[in-house]
Every structure is written in structure tokens, then in C-alpha cells.
Amino acid sequence: MEKGRVAMEGMFSRFDDLRKLIVKLYNNKNVRRWTIEIVVCIVVGLLAGCFSYNALHKKDKKLTVSEENAVAQEEVVETTDTAESTESSEEAVEDNSVITVVDPGEYVDTIKDWSSEEISAAISERSQYLTDNKYWPTVSSYWETSRGVTGDACYCTYLFNTDTTVYTTADFENVPAEVIHIAKNEIYARHGYSFRDSEIMNYFMGQVWYSPSVMPADFSEDVFTETEVKNLDMLNSIDTM
């Protein structure tokens, strides 16, 4: 008990010393001024902190709202793009639905599935080869006057069916020499023969179905069918060019 009493007296003594120190400091004008300034600074700091927190909190809310709006706008844009894409696809389908495919009976097998737009584009691209070609005026006239063929067909059809029909010299009576010469070389052209003669080469380059793929040195007449060989022999016998 004695120790507890002594401890309590010591503690009260320290508190009393502290009180006296505070009173002494408070009675000092400079200390009072510094104390007031410190308190004011603390209050101002607290108020500034509160204002800053509120401002930042509001800014965060604005940013959050802005981000939500941005997401919403992106969704709207994506929806719009999707709708436009769908419309474009539908338009493409509609466009494809009106493409006219040429009659397979009018054109050779290699181009029978082409659309009329593809045929027209190929003819336009190859027309340069027929400009000033010495064979083309006679052959095109033969197509029109003797065959009654005009338009795209004369660029897309074989001149004669030398692969399926065995012709005779009587079939070529009154046929111009240029047409006979082209008919003979057409048998080679069907098999991709690349002609050395520039006039013959240009004539066939003007034909949409022609695709040169074999050089003369690599070409073999073994590719000809029996019907083609018979027609070649006959045409050679009447070819004067």
C-alpha cells in the first residue's frame, strides 16, 4: 500500500509540474501567439483537406459517369456498325442476286460460269489485241453475216466445233481464207498453244476463252483427238495462207 501511495504522489507531482509549465508557457505572449497560429494552421489544413476530398470524390463520380457514357456510346456505335454491316451484307446479297450468269450453251466450258459483268470486263481488257489485227475484221464479219452472231458471243465461242464434228471441204466452200486459217489454228489454241506469229497470237488473245500455256518447243500433237487430227488434215489441205 505504501508503494502505491508513493507512486500516486509521484504521478500527481508530475501532473502538477506539467500544469505549472503550461501556465508558465501560456503566460508567455510569444507562446500564446505560436499556439494560436498552430491551431489556426491545423484548422485550415483540416478544412482544406475536407474540400480537396470532396472535390476529388466528385471528380471520380464524374469520371465514372463519363466512362459509363463512353461505354454506352461505344455500344451504340458497335450496334450502328453492326446494323450497317448487316445492311451492307443484305445489299451485297441483293446485288449478287441480280448478277446474270451467261447461258452455258453460248460459251465455251472454261468461261460458261462467268457472270455477264466478268465477261464484259474480260472483253474490254482484251480488246486491245484485236485493234488493227489483220484477221479480226474478216472473222467478225463472218460471225455476223454467215452465223448471225453479234455481241459478246464472238469473243467467247469457238469458231468451229472441230473437237466434236468431222468437217469436209464442202463445209468450207465460200468461207474466207482468213477464217479457214484461224479455224485451223484454233485447234491448237484450244490446247493452250502459244503462237510465234504475232497476228495469230493477238487474234486469240482477243478471245476470252484463250489461255496460252504451252510454248511451241514443248507442245506435242499427241494431245489432239482423232476428230481434231482429221479436221487438221482437211483444213491444211484448203488453207492458202
Asked if 163 and 108 count as a contact pair (C-beta separation under 8 A), the reply is: no
State how far the Cα of 207 lies from the Cα of 129, in Å rounded to an integer.
9
Residue 77 has pLDDT above 60, yes or no: no
Residue 43 has pLDDT above 70, yes or no: no
State how far the Cα of 92 lies from the Cα of 70, in Å rounded to an integer.
32
Asked if 205 and 131 count as a contact pair (C-beta separation under 8 A), the reply is: no
More confident residue, 28 or 140: 140
- What pLDDT does 49 receive? 66
State how far the Cα of 175 lies from the Cα of 158, in Å rounded to an integer.
16
- Cβ partners under 8 Å of residue 26, min gap 6: 32, 35
Span 140-162, average pLDDT = 92
- What pLDDT does 191 receive? 97
Cα–Cα distances in Å, from 130 out to 49, 55, 174, 197, 229? Answer: 89, 81, 24, 14, 28
Residue 230 has pLDDT above 90, yes or no: yes
Distance, C-alpha 66 to centroid of its chain: 35
Which grid cell is 130? 484485236
Q: Per-residue confidence at 36, pLDDT binned at 50, 70, 90?
A: confident
- What pLDDT does 164 receive? 95
pTM summary value: 0.57
Span 60-74, average pLDDT = 45
User: pLDDT digits over 91-121, tens only?
Assistant: 433 444 333 333 334 688 889 889 999 999 9
51-60, 119-128, 231-240: the lowest-pLDDT one: 51-60
State how far the Cα of 200 lies from the Cα of 198, in Å rounded to an integer.
6
User: pLDDT digits over 18-32, tens only?
Assistant: 777 676 666 766 766
- What pLDDT does 91 receive? 45
User: pLDDT digits over 113-133, tens only?
Assistant: 899 999 999 999 999 999 999
Element (H, E) at 12: helix 2-27
- What pLDDT does 112 receive? 86
Cell 498453244, located at residue: 193
CA angle 13, 17, 19 (to 5 degrees): 115
State how far the Cα of 205 lies from the Cα of 126, in Å rounded to an integer.
7
Cα–Cα distances in Å, from 45 out to 74, 114, 143? Answer: 42, 83, 102
Percent of the chain scoring above 70 in pLDDT = 63
State how far the Cα of 13 lies from the Cα of 67, in Å rounded to an integer.
64
Which grid cell is 184? 485451223
Mean pLDDT score of the chain:
78
